[in-house]
Amino acid sequence: MEEKKSNSIKIILYISAWVMIWGTIGSLVDYPLYKNNVYQEGSFYQFLTFTISAILSIIGAKYFYTRIKL
């Protein structure tokens, strides 16, 4: 039982880390586009920026998950 609980905590921490990575990457891409008036805050293109960065983060998370074998 202790092994399963420990594994669950590792997975939750892993997912949390990837959510933070996704938010950081999305914001780093979004900021210069927004400041240079490529699109407005709350527009479809801002949504698209964060959606694409989320998809890339999910792909990265799955790739590294198989490598580190939590």
Span 1-59, pLDDT tens digits: 566 667 889 999 999 999 999 999 999 999 999 999 999 999 999 999 999 999 999 99
C-alpha dist (Å) from residue 22 to 2, 33, 52: 30, 17, 10
Kindly report the average pLDDT of the chain as a whole number: 90
In a domain, 7, yes or no: no
Instruction: Classify residue 58 as left (phi > 0), alpha (psi -120 to 50) or beta.
Output: alpha
Provide the residue range defining the domain that includes 61: 16-68
The C-alpha atoms of residue 35 and residue 17 are separated, in whole angstroms, by 27
In a domain, 1, yes or no: no
Higher pLDDT, 46 or 69: 46
Q: What is the pTM of this model?
A: 0.78
In a domain, 43, yes or no: yes
Burial letters 23-53, b for 16+ CB under 10 A, else e: eebbeeebeeebeeeebeeeeeebeebbeeb
In a domain, 41, yes or no: yes
The count of domains in the chain is: 1
